[in-house]
Amino acid sequence: MTTTNANLSSANTGWREAVAGYQNPDLLRSIWQIVNSIGGYVIMWYLMWRSLSVSYWLTLLLGIVAGGFMVRIFIIFHDCGHGSFFKSKKLNTFWGTVTGILTLTAYDQWSHEHALHHASSGDLDRRGMGDVWTLTVKEYQALPLMKRLWYRIFRHPVILFGFGPTYTFGISHRIARSDASPRERRSVVLTNLALLGIVIGMHFLIGIKAFFLIQMPILAIGGAIGLWLFYVQHTFEPPYWEHHDEWNFETAALAGSSYYKLPKVLQWFTGNIGIHHIHHLSPRIPNYNLQACQDENEIFQAVQPLTFWASLRSLNLRVWDETQRRMLSFREMRKLYQQASRQSAGAA
């Protein structure tokens, strides 16, 4: 994925005019997306329940589609958090809260964290809120052994996309941050109470075992897809990382957010979120307008699409090398460290 400085410079001066016509949500399209997303999710959930008496393998297969609908519901939740899904703030808050419950995420707390992510993505001096834990080579080498090991474990794909979704959506989202505002804390508490109510209701309706046999695969699959999308949207080659004094919002959006081009069916389930460079420039664009904005404005053509197969290479990207200005795998970092040690020994 590459961009030219000339094209980026042009986009930096003309993007506001380009996105202006796409920032108005369409009430009917928003309502229809709620219907087909939540409706599809409910239908798949029902089919999974009925399939329990046939084969759990069938249940798991249906869970893949249900997980896709969960991702699509999360996109609605995400757009509400940006105030882009409806013109009405009350409607955004209401449906953001509802879709947040369905995706096990407190609306107000997550929206605040995500706003900080948009304001600091690619900024080396403002990491740590709403992003994937990323260290520079120097930071990694300065860590004690056990923290290095923990970082390696955290960045391993099995942990990040296997155990990560269950921890993030099942545990982490149940706890308010220590610095959370009263509104954010209320959002976490109310979401937890709503989820508890659902669990109790399902216990009496279909049984607690059946509920978890259905919900856990959906959580694991939908969460893994969601975390993968978030990861690949900002972890690819060449990436964008700058210290705050040199960080630029527009360049961070265009060069530091991928244009993840997926097959149409996957693009539908993921709510066009792969068009992430435009989303970071203007989060007020509802998801269903992103593709038109990309197709109808020449200034965005400078951002080359990242294909699915090419995106798999990002799994090996672990640490940011400020000298070479690129992400390295642990193996590449070790080779550089050994090479530098030999050179240092030779000079001595």
Give residue 348's pLDDT: 56
Residue 62 within any structural domain of the chain: yes
Residue 89 within any structural domain of the chain: yes
Do 232 and 260 touch, CB atoms closer than 8 A? Answer: yes
Question: pTM for the complete prediction?
Answer: 0.91
Residue 25 within any structural domain of the chain: yes
Give residue 4's pLDDT: 42
What is the spatial distance between Cα 34 and Cα 163, in angstroms, rounded to a whole number? Answer: 29
**Neighbour count for residue 205 (Cβ, 10 Å):** 11
* Burial group, residue 144, by CB count within 10 angstroms (0-12, 13-18, 19+): exposed
User: What three-state secondary structure class fits 81?
Assistant: helix
> What are the beta bridge partners of residue 167?
none
CA distances 287 to 32, 121, 271, 293, Å, are: 13, 20, 6, 10
- To which residue do tokens 């919002």 refer? 249
pLDDT digits 0-9 by tens, 84-97: 999 999 999 999 99
| Over residues 29-46, mean pLDDT | 98
Residue 117 within any structural domain of the chain: yes
What is the spatial distance between Cα 84 and Cα 273, in angstroms, rounded to a whole number? Answer: 13
Q: Which domain holds residue 106?
A: 5-315
pLDDT digits 0-9 by tens, 101-127: 999 999 999 999 999 999 999 999 998
What is the spatial distance between Cα 221 and Cα 241, in angstroms, rounded to a whole number? Answer: 30
| Over residues 223-230, mean pLDDT | 95
User: What three-state secondary structure class fits 327?
Assistant: strand
- To which residue do tokens 């979401």 refer? 191
105: left (phi over 0), alpha (psi -120 to 50) or beta: beta
Q: What is the mean pLDDT of the chain?
A: 91
Residue 217 within any structural domain of the chain: yes
pLDDT digits 0-9 by tens, 133-169: 999 999 999 999 999 999 999 999 999 999 999 999 9
What is the spatial distance between Cα 174 and Cα 167, in angstroms, rounded to a whole number? Answer: 10
What is the spatial distance between Cα 326 and Cα 64, in angstroms, rounded to a whole number? Answer: 34
Do 291 and 106 touch, CB atoms closer than 8 A? Answer: no
Structure tokens at 41: 């999710």
Structure tokens at 196: 């508890």
| Over residues 54-81, mean pLDDT | 98
User: How many domains is the chain built from?
Assistant: 1
Residue 323 within any structural domain of the chain: no
Residue 209 within any structural domain of the chain: yes
Residue 172 within any structural domain of the chain: yes
Burial per residue of 326-348, b for 16 or more beta-carbon CB atoms within 10 angstroms, e otherwise: ebbebebbeeeeeeeeeeeeeee
pLDDT digits 0-9 by tens, 289-323: 999 999 999 888 878 899 999 999 999 999 999 88
Q: Which of 76, 82, 69 is nearest to 95 (CA)?
A: 76
Q: Which ranges in the chain belong to alpha helices (H)? A: 5-20, 27-51, 56-81, 89-102, 107-120, 137-142, 145-155, 157-158, 164-170, 182-205, 208-232, 249-256, 264-269, 276-281, 290-295, 308-311, 330-347
